[in-house]
Structure 1
């Protein structure tokens, strides 16, 4: 039985809030930090929908699949930002991801944060 099942996720989150020297340190999920409206506008403006969707594999992987794959990887955001900027291949199949050198680093970070949060609608 996992700790999450035995104690419940909420109890573990509360315990984690007090884990830093007794101080209350609020935990923030990636979903809470994401600006879905801004990310969706960037997504549409940069033709991301040509290859990706939130829940279905198209040419590239579904955003839900990306979020699931990198769920427990703290370095995923930085690596995915580089892939969006510079392009990449081989992780999700033989079709390469094109580079997006014209996208600002801030826009890329917004979209990657949104993707890793599961591409929420709001």
Structure 2
């Protein structure tokens, strides 16, 4: 077996660290609202740009564009759940989410769910 030189060993270690750290670095770059949405199963029913069980985040942003009451309405909807706005499938309540986390998600969604 060939022994690697010091520089080659160092480069190999740096490469391995970079591959392990890349997902963590990507997560840190994502907007806070997106991080909270990912951590609270929002993506199980919503996608950024296409309808799943519920509307896409971009559809929500378009529907509420220019509505000054949208942040409060949507925060209440996330916290309490509901149905009828986008169809008959109910959105479950997210009572365990903090108000700050809900606001982060709502603000992110209303901004069009940007990736950065």
Q: How many aligned positions are there? A: 88
1:110 pairs, out of 104, 107, 113, with 104
Show the 5 A alignment for 1:1-122.
37-122=31-116
For residues 112 and 36 of structure 1, the distance between their equivalents in structure 2, rounded to whole angstroms, comes to 15
Tell me the TM-score normalized by structure 1.
0.70
For residues 94 and 53 of structure 2, the distance between their equivalents in structure 1, rounded to whole angstroms, comes to 16
8 Å Cα contact 2:31-2:108 kept in structure 1: no
Q: Deviations over 1:6-57 (max 9, x none)?
A: xxxxxxxxxxxxxxxxxxxxxxxxxxxxx95211111111000100000000
Root mean square deviation of aligned Cα? 1.2
Write out the 4+ residue segments of structure 1 that deviate beyond 2 Å after TM superposition.
none
Unmatched 5+ residue regions in structure 1?
Answer: 1-34
For residues 57 and 120 of structure 1, the distance between their equivalents in structure 2, rounded to whole angstroms, comes to 16
The structure having more radius of gyration, on CA atoms, is 2
Tell me the TM-score normalized by structure 2.
0.73
Unmatched 5+ residue regions in structure 2?
Answer: 1-28
